[in-house]
């Protein structure tokens, strides 16, 4: 990764480092399974002076500029695809109509098969860990909430692209484009809303996972179907 001296300083202080709406920990083994690598993409990081010490990337995963939409991923998948629904989702089985029957990983309920009680993406299923390597990872639900609580957000445009700008007390800022989301084979709400995955399962109903959302009128954290194609930052 870049900024080696700075990263080592944070690590010496015992801080958790988060990258690109992704994070970096001393231990890259979420829920007992590794799978991190040296990465196939690179990123630049923004220090927002957050209490946890997390750093956030300047760009969405798959983008090369802050305003770039980047790629879309189903929760727990590490490759893009043309169609996003339960029938194409990696960790489930479906009936003849394509409706969810069982969850084959990240399940907390007997309604969907045998629970494994995994509630945070393992590195092998974390696209940020796989694409960026070096301990990078997707943010948890709580880390999105930390970003919200410790920055001032505004709906604005960068190079003609609408999105949300987060400005911290230290003067640094982060821009997330309103990249929309993908369902079946279509892209929805691009330019109107942003939908960004966390690494946290919605344990109360494991067919869903937590994500951060925003539009011109506000922002928040909610849960939604795991098969949807959302941004990773």
Q: What is the pLDDT of residues 92-102, one digit of tens each?
A: 999 999 999 99
Closest by CA position to 21, among listed 195, 194, 233, 178? 233
What distance in Å separates the CA atoms of residue 164 and residue 192, rounded to the nearest whole number? 10
What distance in Å separates the CA atoms of residue 38 and residue 51, rounded to the nearest whole number? 28
pLDDT value at residue 138: 97
Q: What number of helices (H) and strands (E) belong to the chain?
A: 3, 12
State pLDDT tens for residues 74-114: 999 999 999 999 999 999 999 999 999 999 999 999 999 99
CA angle 143/149/155 to nearest 5° reads: 100
How far are the Cα atoms of 78, 198, 202, 225 from residue 222, in angstroms, in the given order?
22, 10, 9, 11
pLDDT value at residue 220: 98
**Kind and range of the H or E run holding 47:** strand 45-47
Give yes or no for residue 154 having a pLDDT over 60: yes
Question: What is the pTM for the complete model shown?
Answer: 0.87
**Kind and range of the H or E run holding 153:** strand 151-158
Over range 113-127, report the average pLDDT. 98
Q: Please write down the HEC assignment for all residues of 196-210.
A: EEEEEECCCCCCEEE
3-state secondary structure of 12: helix
pLDDT value at residue 158: 98
What distance in Å separates the CA atoms of residue 171 and residue 149, rounded to the nearest whole number? 15
């Amino acid at each position: 990764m870049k900024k080696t001296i700075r990263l080592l300083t944070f690590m010496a202080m015992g801080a958790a480092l988060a990258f690109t709406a992704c994070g970096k920990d001393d231990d890259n083994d979420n829920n007992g399974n590794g799978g991190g690598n040296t990465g196939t993409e690179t990123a630049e990081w923004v220090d927002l002076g957050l209490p946890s010490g997390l750093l956030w990337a300047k760009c969405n995963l798959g983008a090369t500029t802050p305003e770039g939409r980047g790629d879309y991923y189903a929760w727990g998948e590490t490759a893009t695809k043309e169609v996003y629904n339960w029938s194409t989702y990696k960790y489930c089985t479906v009936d003849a109509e394509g409706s969810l029957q069982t969850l084959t990983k990240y399940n907390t309920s007997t309604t969907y098969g045998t629970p494994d009680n995994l509630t945070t993406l393992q590195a092998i299923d974390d696209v940020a860990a796989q694409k960026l390597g070096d301990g990078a990872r997707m943010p948890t639900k709580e880390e999105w909430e930390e970003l919200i609580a410790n920055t001032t957000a505004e709906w604005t445009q960068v190079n003609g692209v609408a999105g949300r700008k987060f400005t911290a007390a230290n003067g640094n800022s982060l821009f997330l484009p309103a990249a929309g989301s993908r369902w079946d084979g279509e892209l929805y709400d691009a330019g109107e809303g942003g939908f960004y995955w966390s690494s946290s399962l919605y344990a109360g109903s494991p067919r869903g996972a937590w994500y951060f959302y925003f539009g011109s009128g506000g922002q928040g954290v909610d849960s939604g179907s795991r098969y949807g194609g959302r941004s990773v930052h």
